[in-house]
Structure 1
């Protein structure tokens, strides 16, 4: 059975890898493993060792703490039967939207954000 922490860390790895535009193959090569192992980490099937997480954090250019941000809320919600928080990050369309959003220059991104807020209030 998958442990909720392993699933959460795996989702954070996948999210950061995807946001960087890094493939599973590229990440695997950079840390010296096969891409299938990255797949297992990302799904929570295999637990990521501390040393491997250290290597992954260096390749993905984040602090180790990144992989655990929001974990307490997620595990509590999961234990309550609500699923893992941030499941929206498993939706390819949502991830693509997020990546595109951050590719927009900051001043334009702010205007787009304000527009989205107005539209969601009107809905």
Structure 2
């Protein structure tokens, strides 16, 4: 995906700060947070169907097929447009981009909040 001169993925290798509204918009959805966390912790490049399976393991509700559809139509294009992943819809693969590093502190905070580990500031 990367390394082709003049390609969008090559342009993404130049680090640029994500606007705060973009950061919070990307992280406002739990499924996008789980995608970014998975790519950061496990596999930086993965096939969308396999990613959908990983995201639904141990969770009640959505099927991997339904998750894959939502990833394809909503979440991966949004993450790709922001430059934090490269999504190849034809190959059905997604790859984490270096710009995703900027989201790591917010993801850590979101995970702590979901676990109930975030304090009330001493209150």
TM-score range with shorter-chain normalisation? 0.3 to 0.5
| Structure-2-length-normalised TM-score | 0.33
Mark the structure with the bigger radius of gyration. 1
TM-score (normalizing by structure 1): 0.33
